[in-house]
Structure 1
C-alpha cells in the first residue's frame, strides 16, 4: 500500500483492543457466509496490513484453511507482523505471505483467485483515485471486500463543559485536515465510506455498512491521551488560530481522563461489498 501512514507499531498496539471491540462482527459473519463455497485454501488479501491486526481478528471468524497475502507499502511496519498464534475458525494455523508494495503499483489483476479483500483503518487515508483502483481490482476479480474502521468524522466527548464550542471547532478542523491535499494527494477522510460504497454500487455490487465506533472510558486512559494529542494536533495544524484554546481544552480533558471521568466516542464505519448473484 502507499506509504502515507504515520502509524507506529506502538500506536497500533495501543489502539488494537479498541479496534477489536469496535469492528462489526455482523459484517464479518456475512463475509464468512459469502466464503462458504470458496475453494481451499481460502485466499485473502489484506491491504495496508500494518502489524496484522485485521488478520488476527478476522481469521478466526472465517472458514479455512486460509492463506493470506498481507500488503503494505511500509517495509518497517511489516517487520512487526506477528501471526504465530492466528488460526481459522476450525483452529488450523493460517499461512501468510508479505508483499511490500505501494498502492499505485497494485496490479489490476492482483486479486485474481482471491476469496476476499480486507483492510482496516485505510480508506480514509487514500485518495479517490486510489479507492477507484482498489474497487476496480475487486470488481475485476469478483472478490468481496470488507473494509473496517474508516474514520467517519464525528466525535463525542463527555462530560459536557464550557469547552464544547472549541471542541466543535477542533472536530471541524480535524475533518478538514483528513480531507487535506498532502503532497498532491487529496485524501478521502470522513467521506471515505460514502465514496467507496458509491463506487461499488455503481458497479452493480451489493453494499452494507455498519457503525463501528470506539467507546473509550476509564480503562482506555492511555489510548485517550494519545488520541487526544493526535486529534488536537491535526486540528491545530489545519487551523493554527485554534492553538491557544485547543491547549486549554487538551489540559482539561487530560485531567478528566486521569481522574477516570472522561468518556469518548470516536465514530468509524465498516463496509462490506460483494458481487450480485
Structure 2
C-alpha cells in the first residue's frame, strides 16, 4: 500500500516562494507562454497555496486567462485565500480537490489550454509521469513543469559530513510520496525524454536556488529537512546531529551558502499537433 500523498506546511511554501520566483528560468516560461491562446484556461497540478498562479499569471501576457488549481490536500486549498490576501489575485481561479495519485484520469484535459506544475515531478513515480505525459499528448497541450530537483547540492563552506548526508538524502528521495517510488532527482531528465518521445518539442533550463545569509530561514529549514531525510535513510543519530549543528552555527554566523539544483521543463506538441492554436 502506498503512503498518503506528500503534504507540506503552508509556512514552508510561503518561505520558499520568493526563492522559487528568483530561480525560475525565463526561457521555458516564455516558450510556454508563446504557445497559449489569447484567453487560456490553465490547469495547475499540485497547486499547494497557489504560488504558481501568483508567479506565472502576470508573466504570461494573457489578460483573459483563467486557472483551475488542483490539490489533494484540503489544508493547501483552504490556505489559498489567505495567501492572496493583501494582493489582488493575478487571474480568476477556482480550486478542485483531487487525489492526483489516483485521480489523474478524472481530469478533463480537453477543457484546458495548458498544464502547469511546480515542485511536483520529483515526488511522483515514473509510471505516474508516463500517464501524465500520455494525457497531455492526447489533449495536445503545452506544459510547463517548474522547479524539479535534479540532485545537484553544493554547500559552502564544505563540511566533512556533506557526502554522507547527501548520499542518504538521495536514497530518501526515492521513497514513495503517495504516487509510487518517487523519481527524485531523475524527474526532469525523464520528463524531457518522455515528452520528446511523445512528439513534443522540449525546452529545459536550470532553475537553481542560490541561498545565502539573506535566506537564513530557508537554509535552516533545508538543514532540518536534509537531516531528517538522512536519519530516515539510516545515517547515525550522532552524524546527523553533528552535521546539523555545524550547519546551523554557520547560518548564525552568516557564513552558510548553498546551491540547490532545479530544472524547469516546457514542452509543446510539434508538427501542428497543438490544441488550440497559440494566440498573438
TM-score exceeds 0.5: yes
1:1-277 to 2 correspondences below 5 Å: 4-35=5-36, 38-40=37-39, 42-62=40-60, 63-82=62-81, 83=84, 85-87=88-90, 94-103=91-100, 104-107=102-105, 110-160=108-158, 163-164=159-160, 166-181=161-176, 185-241=180-236, 243-277=237-271
- Partner SS state of residue 132, structure 2: helix
Q: Is the 8 A contact 1:109 1:137 kept in 2?
A: no
Q: Deviations over 1:158-179 (max 9, x none)?
A: 113xx33x20111111111111
Relative to structure 1, is the Cα distance of residues 110 and 267 closer, same or farther in structure 2, using a 3 angstrom cutoff? same
TM-score when scaled to structure 2? Answer: 0.89
TM-score when scaled to structure 1? Answer: 0.90
Measured after TM superposition, the shift of residue 64 of structure 1 is 2.5
The alignment's C-alpha RMSD in Å is: 1.7
- Partner SS state of residue 199, structure 2: coil
Q: Is the 8 A contact 1:213 1:265 kept in 2?
A: yes
Match of 2:274 in 1: none
Deviates more, 1:108-117 or 1:260-269: 108-117
**d(CA) in 2 for partners of 1:183, 1:44:** 24
Q: Is the 8 A contact 2:144 2:267 kept in 1?
A: yes
Q: Is the 8 A contact 1:59 1:86 kept in 2?
A: no
Runs of 4+ in 1 over 6 A off after TM superposition: none
- Partner SS state of residue 194, structure 2: helix
Provide structure 1 residue ranges, at least 5 long, that are not aligned to the other structure.
Answer: 88-93
Aligned length: 263
Measured after TM superposition, the shift of residue 246 of structure 1 is 2.1
Provide structure 2 residue ranges, at least 5 long, that are not aligned to the other structure.
Answer: 272-280
**d(CA) in 2 for partners of 1:149, 1:54:** 11
